[in-house]
A and B are shown apart, each in its own frame.
Chain A
Amino acid sequence: MSLDDENAGAASADLIEEVLKAYPDKAAKKRRRHLAAAAAPSAEEESEGLVSACGVKSNIKSIPGVMTVRGCAYAGSKGVVWGPVKDMVHISHGPVGCGQYSWSQRRNYYTGTTGVDSFGTMQFTSDFQEKDIVFGGDKKLETIIDEINELFPLAKGVTVQSECPIGLIGDDIEAVARKKKKETGKTVVPVRCEGFRGVSQSLGHHIANDAIRDWVLGKGEADEEEIGPYAVNIIGDYNIGGDAWASRILLEEMGLNVLASWSGDATLKELERAPKARLNLIHCYRSMNYICRHMEEKYGVPWTEYNFFGPSQIAQSLRHIASHFDDTIKANAEKVIAKYQPLVDAVIAKYGPRLKGKKVMLYVGGLRPRHVVTAYEDLGMEIAGTGYEFAHNDDYQRTGHYVKEGTLIYDDVTSYELERFIEAIRPDLVGSGIKEKYPIQKMGVPFRQMHSWDYSGPYHGYDGFAIFARDMDLAINNPVWGLFDAPWAASQAELAEAAE
């Protein structure tokens, strides 16, 4: 432990106490448990490769009235897990808003003809009215599924994404799903992701995973096709800005074939066939570990985590993935790493000097608060603080592999806390979401949205790293940050004084 780390830790602890002063006592007590400086790892943790211990409480209900950034279970299911499955129609079941606000906002790219064989950028809603609340929406749901089948004959199936009222009025969407599946032969998946369930998006991920398990896997006709020895699945990559494609190209180059992409650019067939793969590669552990564990238990498919942000992690991940296969694949992995090394060197040579030593604060969702850390470090940047909207304890444990002691850690941070932390730390860059973007930019702090890649991307893979580096540079080194102060401030003060 260095003196610097210790000092950083003490400063972070002071800052946390200072910020908590604004809260009423009860809220301060609750929030204190979610905030910490990353501590020195224990000997045991160190032996497991951890460089710090990020011991904050997590996956707990948000406090009312504090402006949490979190979303809901519906967002986790429809918005994250199911929404990208492109050849199914996802019904936002309930009032119009949820589907409207989440319509086309995740940037899950796909190929296909929208409205004909693909439906990703469309908003299907049962648009509940008062009478549906009073009399129930099951009949309406049946009609809706019939109408979908008539107007979209190439749709492979539908999912029913429950909004808050569904669970409160006692609708039986499972019965509707079974009935319609029987009538039409097409897959119908009821998902109980009402927004009031759980404490964040996270339960929605879990519920969505369970729905895949219960209503998709093992339900298709017995597929006797031969699957080769190199079949893998990409799990937990939502193809935001094309991330899954920039990843897939590397896996294919090393001789693997990607059987299923969950769920970015996915088809129903890919979901159904996934248990035949030899290995599940999981990127967003938080949102899809459940189904990986299920496939391991039920179908014997092993799974492993990987990280395709930044060249250090990409190379390490390619080697790690290859270690599950034969020497050909291992040799291929080295070839792929060697092939892209000149690109990596050129990117770092170009952007490194412009970004070296810049301080970054992150506040994002599933995997990014830790997974992107090394990508910044590859460019010579430093992480001053990081936190998750909806992480669990195992996410914070994993974070200890990435961030150094003294780093400020904040779970389910409130807008108030985040602004105070940023004011105190004055990072050179903040990476967070759309709700944080404009307040922080107005403070004069460069910002990138790290959910949607700020409408850029992909950021995964080697191709994505070049874009990542370019984007961080354009955010930090933009001339606009020099224009915030009017040049006449000093001289005008004198004039104003003289005028008095």
Chain B
Amino acid sequence: MPQSAEKVLDHAPLFRQPEYQEMLARKRAEVEDMPPAEKVAEIADWTKSWDYREKNFARKSLCINPAKACQPLGAVFAAAGFEKTLSFVHGSQGCVAYYRSHLARHFKEPCSAVSSSMTEDAAVFGGLANMIEGLRNAHALYEPKMIAVSTTCMAEVIGDDLQSFIINAKEKEAIPQDFHVPFAHTPAFVGSHTTGYDNMLKGILEHFWKGKEAERNDTLNIVPGFDGYAVGNNRELKRILYLMGIKATILSDVSDQFDTPSDGAFRMYDGGTSLAATEAAAGARATLSLQEACSHKTLEYAASFGQATAALHYPLGVAGTDELVMKLSELSGKPIPEELRKERGRLVDALADSQSYLHGKSYAIFGDPDFVYGMARFVLETGGEPKHCLATNATKAWGEKMEALFATSPFGEGCKAWPGKDLWHMRSLLATEPVDLLIGSSYGKYLERDTGTKLVRLTFPIFDRHHHHRFPVLGYQGGLRVLVTLLDAIFDKLDEAAGAAGADISFDLTR
């Protein structure tokens, strides 16, 4: 008997015990009708061949293991960064259960959102009644200051009109006339979660800004974009802004909402950008986005209020952060302080100390377009080669930008960007043109297993490792953390390889 009370074996060791191994072998032999082992091995080898790669890349319609989610997820994320704001997603209720679970699994935090719970009758008659009742109930039960409405694809397909529904709900006194209900249509069959983020954020700004004369003030607006590291990153960003003496409004700041303390109270709402600041943000000098793909419409809208606008690509590493602080300085008129120059020097110092282990390492990177860009740029700075850069939710224009980035460095030679491709494409890339490290999300663990490429988790979603998002990856400080993470992976690989040799070769104490 494998189990005992003294040493309880859970699934990880339990099913490796002989009793279970024999049982599973018997199941396979007697009832499963699975193909013979030789056939499986033959096909497994073939899936890693160039022939398979060509067939795989010839795919036109099937999407396998995409690295993207749908619009409403981004909308729920964006809305979570405002003061006492409850997301209300109009459409089928199962979707909302999915968004809440998805974000909770990454942040290990509560994620609240409600649904209008539309079913068959709403598909026929439209969801107006659901919207009215839903707003009334959500307002009464959860006492938000603002309800941000977005849509699932069901509501989009049947063509429900949010604006008139919300007006209707106010007329029916489901919610007070002056209650804040911004909205955004977020069809899941257009774009991805980055699009949904943009649409919801623009919807919120529109709610507060539309038809108003902007009262010019001295602040900057900063749009972080959909960022799984927002908890650590937004706080680091605020520190940089403080060092520079810049007054800024972070438009959607989820750093407290997705990092509430354990002290006996469940805070359904915590932190977030205040509604007053959001309203005043119309008069900011400029709006700076840290992720272009999350902010096309938002920036356009901000520009219509006479603001200067600019978009970065996830300011990570030395040049990425240089760009950030110089842009902040340019837009605010404030100088870059000595403290930041020293921080920069420390990151460069670290790069110099570790150069011999970084130089010439090859990488595959996947994630949202701006993350991949920022990460690839940092890899180039370390003397690494970002060979395969893939973003399922990227456009051809992104691909061209990536090619331009590769062209800036000799280490970019032979590197390629893959917009619109998925992680099954990446599997073929890794199998036919192997690299040293794979950078991405938890979904990369299947690629790590199948191709033996060590995975470094540095972007959303990270489900199977804890607390990474609590530490920044942006800015010079964040750059240090990314650097250490990469180096740890490189050193671990060295030690593992040395151990496998079975001799005391290369198992160096000092490196």
Binding site for B on A (CB under 8 A): 22-24, 26-27, 61-75, 87, 91, 94-98, 100-103, 105, 109, 111-117, 121-130, 132-133, 140, 143-144, 147-148, 150-151, 153-154, 163-165, 167-169, 195-199, 201, 241-242, 245-246, 248-249, 252, 257-261, 265, 267-270, 273, 339-340, 343, 346-347, 349-351, 414-416, 419, 433-435, 437-444, 456-458, 462-463, 466-467, 469-470, 480, 484-486
Given A168-B158, A346-B5, A438-B109, A443-B264 contact (CB < 8 Å): yes
Q: Check B190–A129 contact: CB distance below 8 A.
A: yes
Chain B 281-324: CB-based contact to A (< 8 A → 1; otherwise 0): 00000000000000000000000000000000000000000000
Cα-based distance from A167 to B93 in the complex (angstroms): 16
B85 located at the interface, meaning its Cβ lies under 8 Å from any Cβ of chain A in the complex: no
Q: Are B265 and A442 in contact (CB under 8 A)?
A: yes
Q: In the complex, what residues of A have CB within 8 A of residue B267's CB?
A: 442
Among residues of A, the one whose C-beta sits closest to the C-beta of B423 is A123
State the CA gap A450–B399 with chains docked (Å).
Answer: 44
CA–CA, A195 to B33, complex, Å? 33
Assess the B189–A165 pair: CB atoms within 8 A: yes
A72 touches B92 (CB 8 A): yes
Q: List 30 A-B contacts (CB under 8 A).
A: A27-B133, A65-B136, A68-B97, A70-B94, A70-B97, A94-B153, A97-B69, A115-B427, A116-B44, A123-B64, A123-B66, A124-B62, A125-B64, A126-B62, A127-B63, A128-B153, A147-B60, A169-B157, A196-B92, A196-B119, A267-B34, A433-B101, A434-B105, A439-B266, A441-B262, A442-B110, A442-B264, A443-B265, A467-B11, A485-B263
Which residues of the other chain, B, contact A444 by a CB distance below 8 angstroms? 262, 264
Cβ of B104 and Cβ of A343 under 8 Å apart? Answer: no
Closest to B143 in A: A22
Q: Contact between B116 and A439 (Cβ–Cβ < 8 Å)?
A: no
Say yes or no for B179: interface residue by CB 8 A criterion. no
Find out whether the CB atom of A62 lies under 8 angstroms from the CB atom of B117: yes
Known: A23-B141, A128-B189. A115 touches B450 (CB 8 A): yes
B133 x A438 contact (CB < 8 A): no
Cβ-defined contact, B190 with A154, below 8 A: no
Question: Is B55 on the interface with A (CB-CB < 8 A)?
Answer: yes
Interface residue B59 (Cβ < 8 Å from any Cβ of A): yes
Please, how many angstroms separate the alpha-carbon atoms of A347 and B4 in the complex? 8
**CB distance B27 to A435 under 8 Å?**
no
Cβ of B23 and Cβ of A249 under 8 Å apart?
A: yes
B455 at the interface (CB under 8 A from A): no
Which of B33, B190, B261, B268 has most A Cβ within 10 Å?
B33
Known: A164-B154, A486-B263. 20 other contacts (CB 8 A): A24-B140, A72-B92, A72-B97, A87-B32, A97-B73, A113-B44, A114-B446, A116-B43, A129-B190, A151-B56, A154-B40, A164-B152, A165-B154, A195-B154, A245-B23, A246-B14, A350-B5, A414-B141, A438-B108, A458-B14
How far apart are A397's CB and chain B's nearest CB, in angstroms?
25
A105, B65: Cβ atoms closer than 8 Å: no
How far in angstroms is the closest Cβ of chain A from B87? 10
Q: Is the CB of B110 within 8 A of A64?
A: no
When the two chains form their complex, are residues A64 and B115 in contact, meaning their CB atoms are under 8 A apart? Answer: yes
**Most B Cβ at <10 Å: residue of A72, A73, A122, A456:** A72
Determine if B98 and A101 form an interchain contact, defined as CB atoms under 8 angstroms apart.
yes
**B181 contacts chain A at the CB level, 8 A cutoff:** no
Residue B486 lies at the interface, judged by CB distance under 8 Å to chain A? no
Residues from chain A with a CB closer than 8 A to the CB of B483 are none
- Which residues of A are found within 8 Å of B114, using beta-carbon distances? 64-67
What are the 7 closest A-B residue pairs judged by CB atoms, nearest first? A72-B94, A64-B134, A97-B70, A65-B134, A269-B33, A101-B98, A346-B5
In the complex formed, the residue of A with least CB distance to B139 is: A65
Q: Is the CB of B3 within 8 A of A466?
A: yes
> Is the C-beta of B413 less than 8 angstroms from some C-beta in chain A?
no
Q: A94–B94 Cα gap in the complex (Å)?
A: 15
Alpha-carbon separation in the docked complex, A73 to B505 (Å):
58
Give chain B's interface residues, CB within 8 Å of chain A: 1-6, 8-11, 14-15, 19-20, 23-24, 26-28, 30-35, 39-40, 43-44, 47, 52, 55-56, 59-66, 68-70, 72-73, 88, 91-95, 97-102, 104-105, 108-120, 122-123, 130-131, 133-142, 152-154, 157-158, 187-190, 192, 260-268, 424, 427, 443, 446, 450
Contacts of A74 in B (CB 8 A): 94
Smallest CB–CB gap between A64 and chain B, Å?
3
Would A435 and B62 count as touching, CB distance under 8 A? no
From residue B381, how far is it (CB to closest CB) to chain A in Å?
A: 32
Which residue in chain B gives the minimum CB-CB distance to A461?
B3
Alpha-carbon distance A35/B426, docked complex (angstroms): 50
Q: Which of B91, B134, B190 contacts A164 (CB 8 A)?
A: B91
With the chains together, A96 CA to B73 CA distance in Å?
Answer: 11
CB–CB B11/A241 < 8 A: yes
Given contacts A66-B137, A485-B263, contact A112 B123 (CB under 8 A): no
Given A67-B112, A154-B39, A258-B31, answer yes or no on A249-B62 (Cβ-Cβ < 8 Å): no
Q: Inside 8 A of B152's CB, which chain A residues have their CB?
A: 164
Q: Shortest distance in angstroms between B107's beta carbon and chain A's nearest beta carbon?
A: 8
Choose among A70, A103, A463 the residue that contacts B2 (Cβ–Cβ < 8 A).
Answer: A463
Q: How many interface contacts (CB-CB < 8 Å) are there between A and B?
A: 354
Q: A164-B92, A165-B154 are in contact. Are A71 and B97 (CB under 8 A)?
A: yes
A27 to B136, CA, bound (A): 9
Given A123-B64, A443-B264, also A248-B136 (CB < 8 A)? no
Select one of A27, A98, A143, A246 contacting B62, CB under 8 A.
A143
Whether B153 lies near A154 (C-beta < 8 A) is: no
Contact B116 A65 (CB under 8 A): yes
Contact A68 B117 (CB under 8 A): yes
CB distance from A123 to the nearest CB of B (A): 5
Per the bound structure, the CA–CA distance linking A96 and B443 in Å amounts to 15
Q: Which among A62, A168, A484 is the interface contact of B264 at CB below 8 angstroms?
A: A484
Q: A65-B134, A259-B31 are in contact. Are A485 and B264 (CB under 8 A)?
A: yes
Query: Which residues from chain A contact B190 at a C-beta distance below 8 Å?
Result: 129-130
User: Across the interface, do B123 and A124 meet the contact criterion of CB distance under 8 Å?
Assistant: no
Residues of chain A within 8 A of B109, CB atoms compared: 438
- Complex contact B120–A64 (CB within 8 A): no
Q: A414 to chain B: which residues have CB within 8 Å?
A: 141
Smallest CB separation, B375 vs chain A (Å): 21
- Given A95-B70, A101-B101, A347-B5, the answer on whether A109 and B34 have CB atoms closer than 8 Å is no
By the criterion CB–CB under 8 Å, are A95 and B188 in contact?
yes
Complex Cα–Cα for A67 and B147 (A): 13
The minimal Cβ–Cβ distance linking B226 to chain A, given in whole angstroms, is 14
Report whether B135 and A102 are in contact in the complex, using a CB–CB cutoff of 8 Å.
no
B55 touching A100, Cβ below 8 Å: no
Contact residues in A for B446 (Cβ distance below 8 Å): 114-115, 121-122
Q: Nearest CB to that of A129 among chain B residues?
A: B189
Is the CB–CB distance between B10 and A116 below 8 Å? Answer: no
Instruction: Report Cα–Cα, A91/B31, bound state, in Å.
Output: 25
Whether A197 and B119, one on each chain, are in contact in the complex, defined by CB atoms closer than 8 angstroms, is yes
A136 nearest CB across to chain B (Å): 12
Q: Provide the bound-state CA to CA distance between A64 and B24, in Å.
A: 46
The answer on a CB contact under 8 Å between A248 and B69 is no
Q: A117-B43, A164-B92, A196-B118 are in contact. Are A112 and B34 (CB under 8 A)?
A: yes
Give CA–CA (A470, B73) in the complex, Å.
36
When the two chains form their complex, are residues B66 and A463 in contact, meaning their CB atoms are under 8 A apart?
A: no
Bound complex: CA A129 to CA B189 (Å): 5
- Which residues on B sit within 8 Å (CB–CB) of A124? 62-64
Shortest Cβ distance from residue B473 to the other chain A in the assembled complex, whole angstroms: 23
CB-CB under 8 A from A127, the residues of chain B are 63, 66
| Distance of B130 from chain A, by nearest CB (Å) | 5
Contact between B99 and A101, CB atoms less than 8 A apart: yes
User: CB < 8 Å: which of B55, B99, B137 contacts A23?
Assistant: B137
> Per a CB cutoff under 8 Å, which of B1, B32, B59, B88 touches A343?
B1
A467–B123 alpha-carbon span in the complex (Å): 45
Alpha-carbon separation in the docked complex, A389 to B54 (Å) = 46
- Nearest chain A CB to B292 CB, angstrom units: 21
Query: Taking CB as reference atom, which chain A residue is nearest B123?
Result: A196
Contact A122 B63 (CB under 8 A): no
